[in-house]
Amino acid sequence: MHENRETSGTSRSNQDRDRSEKASSRTADWHVPEESDCAVVPVNLSNNEEQHSSAEAGEGRAWAKENIAQSNTSPTQSGERVSQGLRGVRKVARERRQGRFTSLLHHVSVDLLRDSFYALKRQAAPGVDGVTWHEYEIGLEDRLADLHSRVHRGAYRAQPSRRVYIPKADGRQRPLGIAALEDKVVQQAVVTILNEIYEVDFRGFSYGFRPGRSPHQALDALSVGLHRKRVNWVLDADIRGFYDHVNHEWTLKFLQHRVADHRMLRLIQKWLKAGVSEDGQWSETKVGTPQGAVVSPLIANVYLHYVFDLWVEAWRKKVARGDVIVVRYADDRVPRAPRAERARSA
């Protein structure tokens, strides 16, 4: 896993500054002075939405293995402003664990799109657009300015993923979805922003596709648990075809616990509904998120955070007896317990 420190920022207008200074920190227009102008409102969920508390902060950002490579760009003055803006997002997320962010899309700036482009894997296969990384780099600044304009005025359209298959160890084939290059760029920018929120929320036993975490750390956690705790049973569990069956409706409901920016939510919905192109034939995607897409690991972690992590945390405190330790890596998880029925229950 490679880690890059590109971030996004945007200069605030005088009007924004004036509004921020007048707004109370307890109103829906509350802003972080000098650090972030992302508005936050208290959680006020509908009856169909379930409210959860958050804990355990993390650092950095997660990368999709298929598309991300080490960035060779050096920090710039604009990058420093960008970093300050996103630090403000994380600061607010940490201080307001129940808050919802109403204004996030403005962080998708040309600077962030540029950094996101240079974070992509340069030799990655093209999507349905047929555009490679090196081809897109020609006239890059004009391309990014146009992309930025389309994203912010609502004219950006997500393209379907190109379906390819890679062999699995058991002889089956794993479907991958290769996004068009501009979709990768925008997805990486969105992941950069949202990770500043969700790295505050995600639990410590979640290791998959998170910044600063690796499979080796997950194995270390298993080893420590086995050697230092009273564990007699270990259950290795995997969700069959998880990425192919992620429920879109529930995904958006889970995201709405923290994200109230409808433009950001519409972007994610566009990627979920963009469909798949296989042998020139387009097919609709009513469920699932493409494996290999930059945004898919974050979507998976958000989904499993609410479906599994919060549940197992509550179960472990209120129901379980003895030491029950859980390590999750994406949709693979390993509960360990002193008795077999406890391990199976987790």
The answer to whether the CB of 251 falls within 8 A of the CB of 208 is no
| C-alpha span between 26 and 253 (Å, rounded) | 24
| C-alpha span between 272 and 88 (Å, rounded) | 28
Per DSSP, helices labelled H in 202-281 are: 215-228, 242-245, 248-255, 262-273
262: amino acid identity, one letter: H
Mean pLDDT of 105-117: 96
- Positions of E strands within the chain: 30-32, 36-42, 99-101, 161-167, 173-178, 233-234, 237-238, 276-278, 281-283, 325-329, 332-337
**pLDDT tens, position by position, 26-81:** 333 333 333 444 455 554 444 333 333 332 333 233 333 333 333 333 344 455 55
Which residue would you say has higher pLDDT here, 200 or 279? 200
Which residue would you say has higher pLDDT here, 224 or 183? 183
| C-alpha span between 248 and 144 (Å, rounded) | 29
- CA torsion sign for 59, 65, 71, 76 is negative
The answer to whether the CB of 299 falls within 8 A of the CB of 289 is yes
Distance, CA of 343 to chain centre: 29
- Token pair 């600044």 in the structure block, residue: 141
Range of lowest pLDDT (140-144, 161-165, 179-183): 161-165
Give, as one character, the DSSP assignment of residue 308.
I
For the ranges 105-119, 220-234, 235-249, 310-324, the maximum mean pLDDT occurs at 105-119
| C-alpha span between 185 and 340 (Å, rounded) | 46
pLDDT at 346: 52
Distance, CA of 234 to chain centre: 29
pLDDT at 225: 85
In the predicted structure, residue 272 carries a pLDDT above the cut 70? yes
Which residue would you say has higher pLDDT here, 135 or 238? 135
- Which pTM value belongs to this model? 0.74
179: amino acid identity, one letter: A
Mean pLDDT of 247-251: 97
The answer to whether the CB of 188 falls within 8 A of the CB of 297 is no
Other C-beta atoms within 10 Å of 282: how many? 12
Mean of pLDDT over the chain? 79
pLDDT at 8: 36
Other C-beta atoms within 10 Å of 233: how many? 15
Give, as one character, the DSSP assignment of residue 106.
G
| C-alpha span between 21 and 317 (Å, rounded) | 43
At 91, give phi and psi (nearest 5°): -60, -45
- Token pair 């029925």 in the structure block, residue: 341
